[in-house]
Structure 1
Amino acid sequence: MSGKGEGPAIGIVSERPTPATTPSYVAFTDSERLIGDAAKNQVAMNPINTVF
């Protein structure tokens, strides 16, 4: 059992401006990676390359 301050560090990636809730979506296109709302907004056009 690890004590306080031991073990791996955990980081949080946030969007700016930060919405009240952030969807856990990631999408891949031919030219970029989309994360959060950007990925969620294009899921209907690119469902095969979107993970949530």
Structure 2
Amino acid sequence: MNQWISHPIEHFQQLMSHQPYHPLLYTFIVYAVIGFIRLIFWGLVKLFRGRR
């Protein structure tokens, strides 16, 4: 945490050299995929419940 306060740009550049993308991007992609799967599941459930 002290690195972010004392020299945030250098710390961010070091993070980027170890990983191709920021970890928050990976988190967003995982949440988007889970949300997409839930949306498909919800649509299928609604489709088959409407046929009763």
Q: TM class, shorter-chain normalised?
A: under 0.3
Query: RCO higher in 1 or 2 (8 Å CA, sep ≥ 6)?
Result: 1
How does the TM-score come out when normalised to structure 1?
0.22
Relative to its length, the structure with more helix (as a share) is 2
Give the TM-score of the pair, scaled to structure 2. Answer: 0.22
Comparing both structures, which one devotes a greater share of its residues to strand?
A: 1
Structure possessing the higher radius of gyration over alpha carbons: 2
